[in-house]
Amino acid sequence: MQTYYIDLHIHIGRTMYGAPVKITASDRLTLTNIMEEASERKGLDIIGIIDCQVPEVQAEIHHLIEREEAVELMQGGIRYKNTTLLLGAEIELYDDCCQGPLHVLCYLPTLAKMEQFTVWLSRHVTNITLSTQRFYGEATLLQHKVHTLGGLFVPAHIFTPFKSLYGKGVKQSLSEVLDPARIDAVELGLSADTVMANELEELQSYTFLSNSDAHSLPKIAREYQQMALQAPTFQEVKWALRQQYNRKVVANYGMNPLLGKYYQTTCRHCLQPMYATEVCSYCMSSDSVKGVAQRIEELTNHTHLSQSHHPPYIYQVPLEFIPKIGPKTLNALIQHVGTEMDVLHHASQATLEEVVSTTIAQCIIANRNGKLSIEAGGGGRYGRLNM
């Protein structure tokens, strides 16, 4: 058994033909650019690209396979250099059972299965060529289809105030909208961690994922996990999410929730901290964006919670968040050390000091040990380091 670094939520900005996919994502986020970044710079073993339902994205995968730059694996996934691609799709649900829209991630094992899914999905969305389209039909119908095709179904960034399971989708329980038996894992999002999610009894049996939700190349792997697998394939990840055959997530690496854009409740107008039922003491507005911490407090049943089986959640600040690590410095570190994963996890302080100052090297080591001081974010504004 080996361990692998994995980020399963990466968007595509443009197809190889220049057509937009995720409107808010960088134009540089083409499938090939993502694969190259993940393999050569980030050091990720497995990634999930969640816009693979788009026909032109599938055409680019076929192009790479025909040029023998990529190969489809027997156990699922597409291998490109040092990285395996898992084929995913992000979809917006808002059926009659939903309180508001929520996003889910659907992963399919093979290109043929994803192409079948595209044909079926195109009858339930307005525009199959764009990312995160609204699904017209019952949420459980989508769950059933994904599992019929041998896929995985994962609610995305489940606590964020907008377009998430607990932020908008349900009043109290996921069973209001989804079939609990057809959920393979849940994605925590940037403003929550394992301790926070474990406050909800109905989540305790699920595997927790920490993914980047990257809309640009630098944001890839700002959150990720390490899994124990026999090989970097779809089937192995499926077993890990279902905690079968000793495959499992062994650690989640994510930003301290205080760094997330929606950790605390803030005034919608001036972004100052407040409680959702109060008036802002700075601008006297009563209009707030409810933070993840407050929403979890509302959902929590404190009667009795079982012992958590989840692995450690390790706080880690993305290198680009650390003061004085700009693009040039980061490039120099990667060229000297190997990949971003090597910088984050393996390089000694002495090795780091061959490229950066002692102060920056010490900061990277402190980051590795979760010892950086943070000021909370909220209302759409990231938290920040106190340096």
Would you say residue 378 lies in a domain? no
Contact 155, 186 (CB under 8 A): yes
Does residue 377 have a pLDDT over 80?
Answer: no
Contacts of 181 (CB under 8 A, 6+ apart): none
Identify the domain containing residue 50 by its residue range: 2-256
Residues 204 and 119 in one domain: yes
- Range 84-93 average pLDDT: 98
Extract the tokens encoding 105: 């991630």
Q: What pLDDT does 359 receive?
A: 87
Would you say residue 262 lies in a domain? no
Residues 115 and 240 in one domain: yes
Q: What pLDDT does 106 receive?
A: 98
Report the distance separating Cα 208 and Cα 331, nearest Å.
Answer: 31
Q: How many domains does the chain have?
A: 2
Residues 49 and 196 in one domain: yes
Q: 61: closest CA among 107, 3, 11, 16? A: 16
Would you say residue 89 lies in a domain? yes
Would you say residue 310 lies in a domain? no
Would you say residue 279 lies in a domain? no
Question: Which CATH number fits the domain that encloses residue 64?
Answer: 3.20.20.140
Q: 211: closest CA among 4, 42, 7? A: 7
Percent share of the chain, pLDDT over 70: 92
Domain boundary among 208, 239, 256: 256
Question: Which CATH number fits the domain that encloses residue 334?
Answer: 1.10.150
Bridge partners of 10, per DSSP, are 49, 214
Would you say residue 281 lies in a domain? no
Bridge partners of 250, per DSSP, are none
Tens digits of residue pLDDT in 31-44 = 999 999 999 999 99
Would you say residue 283 lies in a domain? no
Would you say residue 63 lies in a domain? yes
